[in-house]
Amino acid sequence: MTSSLISILSRRWTEFSQLVAALLIVGAFGLEPTLSNGLLCFGGLLYPALGRPLFRARPRLSRALNVGYLALIVPILACYVMPTSWVNQEQWHTLFDRVSLGHLTYYDQPALIGLLAIILLAFYRNGGRFARLCAPMIIVMAITLLTLQFYLQANDTLHEVRPLPLPLLAGLLLIALSKIDPRLLRRRYHPYRPTFTALILGAFVMSTSLVYWHYQNVQMQYRLNSDSRTISNDVLEQLDQALESHDQSMEHLNRIWNMLDQAPTQAQWQAIVSIYFDTFTFEKALAFVSPSGVIERYQSRGAARDDVIGKPLSAVAPPLDAHEPDFSPTASSDTQIVLLDGQVPSLMYYFSSHSQNGHVIGATVSILSIPALLDSLNGYLAEHRVALSVILKGDTLYSRAPSEKVSDLRYCNMLAIGDAGLTLCTAPTQRWLADEHGNLADIVLVTGLVFALMTFALVRLNRQINDQRHKAQKAKARLEQEIEQRKTLQYQVEWLAHHDELTGLANRRHFIHQVQNHPSRAIAVVMIDIDHFKAINDRLGHHQGDRFLKGIASALSSSVSRYQGSLARYGGEEFIALFAQHELCPGALEKTVRAAVDATGLIHPLTQRPVTVSLGVALGFQEDIEQLIIRADEALYLAKQQGRDRLVIAEA
Ligand SMILES: Nc1nc2c(ncn2[C@@H]2O[C@H](COP(=O)(O)OP(=O)(O)OP(=O)(O)O)[C@@H](O)[C@H]2O)c(=O)[nH]1
């Protein structure tokens, strides 16, 4: 059983590692971005990165898991990035509460930046080359965010902003660095070049917009804090006003007894106090207490209560705090927090009444229900969607919350009641916060991201166009060079077709062509042959033979051109020259040739004297060229026979 589990795990290792990674990341981001969660994320991100190269992926299952991986991350990301005007944050909050993913509230938004990086990483994991290209973008973002992080930590005024987990950013940086294609760093690496610059610029714009978006959120946070505080102060002020006006009325009531100079009769009491119940809805009971502290008159809202007459006041409204000093009618005025009828937390005010000669005739007592008092703020609370609670020494006396979910942005004020103090706490609802939050930050973010994308696309396009132009220019230059090479080659081929390669003279074919196009019909053909050339070859070798051939060809060429003739290599060590008859004087030619050959300084190895040539001349007409060549050859043969180094003219 254990071994089969291990074998399944080892076979499906990559998929398993990705699944674990996805769960870790989602788990960590469902919770608050604390250090430990950051470490979890770090592990989650590193795990598949290490697992992949170590184990071979099963492509189909791997693809399915990758899709699942994205499907898990995208909703969380959406929860953060959706502008509040599109989706109310509270709804998201409820949704994620249901799947126990915890506290995703607007002030966790810096974590979005990390999530953006993760979404990039998910692309990076799922798309080979494209993903590798994302590595520089992730590096730029991670560095920017790390810098921002240090700025946040160094700047005390921003301490309310929740920091990003450092290990997460460090993890992103490490992974991106490990996956970056080293070829990207080469300046002249063409396939990546256009994308690389565009990526860097796009990442820069994106990071800038993220930083600005973050700044906007911080500003918004301050504004919301200050608005929430203002609401809290307003609530306190309204209560203060209500109590102040009630205070004045009570003093007024008290003055009546002072003027009457005696405690009120039952008739006077009933006639006057009913007015106060109508004016102050939170007034729950009024009493007149004798100087000895027992109730003489008592009227609660709705009915007179004779049963309490003659009892001490504490029987009706005992102090909430047992340590409070007892009610003393002789004190000019005081306030206490009591439990009316042992149930309703109430404020008790009393004012002592004096006769004309200054004797205390009793005290007027007014008991205000705290819940009823706070209910008078209902309109204001509903309008501002605020939850209100009243706390006395840690005990909540009253709380009122709207049906919407309340945020934990709480502000408290002290309401001084006699020696005691009530703490009034207000907290706006999440929906109110979301509505007040506004869309500026989101607009900045969305615009920034679109702008980053556009920058990326434009720069990439521009670089691509430039690269294409560059390539086209290079291709054109290459083409022109090729054409030039082909022309040279063609010229060489044509030249070789008509010339002898060794001596550079015209060949036999070209010679015939020259004869056919010669301007003069009467021509002379001269065959020239180096004497005993075979011996040169035999003694000195073919290479030296070639040197002799070239030297003599050059000497013959200059001699022939003196008589406006043209020279060709007829084959082997034999040359042939063509002249117009009227240009040629055989004797002079023989002398010129001999002098030129002598001048070459070539010494025959057999005779140890300068090399010599024999010449055979034939005179005739252009059209008989075949015959002329045969006759010149015969004349040459005769010259050889007669001892060489001479010129023989063929008979006509
Ligand atoms: N080095 C070299 N030798 C060549 C070339 N073409 C022909 N030969 C040699 O030229 C020699 C021609 O010799 P022959 O025509 O028999 O006679 P010869 O030695 O010149 O003597 P005569 O013509 O009777 O004076 C041969 O040995 C060929 O091999 C060449 O292009 N280079």
Q: Which residue ranges form the domains of the chain, and what is each CATH number? A: 2-131 (no CATH), 261-375 (3.30.450.20), 377-435 (no CATH), 508-649 (3.30.70.270)
- Decide if 505 contacts 575 (C-beta within 8 A): yes
Atom of ligand 1 nearest to the CA of 644: 25
Show the ligand 1 pocket: residues with CB < 6 angstroms: 502, 529-535, 537, 542, 545-546, 549, 572-573, 640, 644
Q: Kindly give the distance from the C-alpha atom of residue 553 to the centroid of ligand 1, in angstroms, as a whole number.
A: 14
Q: Looking at residue 494, what is its pLDDT?
A: 93
Residue nearest atom 11 in ligand 1 by C-alpha distance: 534
Low-confidence residues in the chain, pLDDT < 50: 31-32, 54-55, 80-89, 92-93, 95-111, 113, 158-161
Ligand 1 atom nearest to 502, measured from its CA: 31
Pairing, β 395-400 against β 386-392 = antiparallel
Q: Which residue has the tokens 């002079």?
A: 588
Question: Which residue of 573, 613, 636 sits with most ligand 1 atoms within 8 Å of its CB, as the best mutation to test the pocket?
Answer: 573
Site to probe by mutation for ligand 1, drawn from 503, 505, 507, 533 as the one with most ligand atoms within 8 Å of Cβ, is: 533
CA separation for the pair 486, 519 (Å, rounded): 34
437 Cα to the center of ligand 1, angstroms: 108
> Which pLDDT score, from 0 to 100, does residue 484 have?
96
For the question of an ipTM over 0.90, the answer is yes
Ligand 1, atom 22, residue with closest C-alpha: 532
Substitution candidate for ligand 1 out of 507, 537, 540 with most atoms within 8 A of CB = 537
Q: Which ligand 1 atom is at minimum distance from the Cα of 542? A: 1
| Per-residue pLDDT at 357 | 78
pLDDT digits 0-9 by tens, 174-221: 766 766 666 666 655 555 566 677 777 777 887 777 777 777 777 777
Question: Ligand 1 center to residue 640 CA distance, Å?
Answer: 14
Which residue's CA is the nearest one to ligand 1's atom 12?
A: 534
Whether 469 and 245 have beta carbons less than 8 Å apart is answered as: no
The pLDDT value given to residue 626? 92
> Tens digit of pLDDT for each residue in 326-358?
666 666 667 888 888 878 888 888 888 887 777
8 Å CB contact between 323 and 343? no
Please name which of 558, 551, 505 lies closest in space to residue 530, comparing C-alpha atoms. Answer: 551
**Atom 7, ligand 1: residue with shortest CA distance:** 572
Could you tell me the distance, in angstroms and rounded to a whole number, from the CA of residue 533 to the centre of ligand 1? Answer: 5
pLDDT at 471: 92
What is the widest separation between alpha-carbon atoms in the chain? Answer: 186
Spatial distance between the Cα atoms of 253 and 283, rounded to a whole number of angstroms = 14
Predicted pLDDT at 318: 82
> β-strands 303-304, 295-300: how paired?
antiparallel
The pLDDT of residue 533 is 94
Distance 651 CA to ligand 1 centre (A): 27
Mutate to test the pocket of ligand 1, among 534, 549, 641 (most ligand atoms within 8 A of CB): 534
| Residue identifier of the C-alpha nearest atom 32 of ligand 1 | 546
Q: Quote the CA–CA distance of 444 and 447 in Å, as a whole number.
A: 5
For strands 613-621 and 647-649, give the pairing: parallel
Query: Which residue CA neighbors atom 27 of ligand 1 most closely?
Result: 534
Spatial contact of 402 and 385, defined as CB atoms under 8 Å apart = yes
Rounded to the nearest whole angstrom, what is the distance from the C-alpha of residue 545 to the centroid of ligand 1?
9
| Ramachandran quadrant class, 65 (left: phi over 0; alpha: psi -120 to 50; beta: rest) | alpha
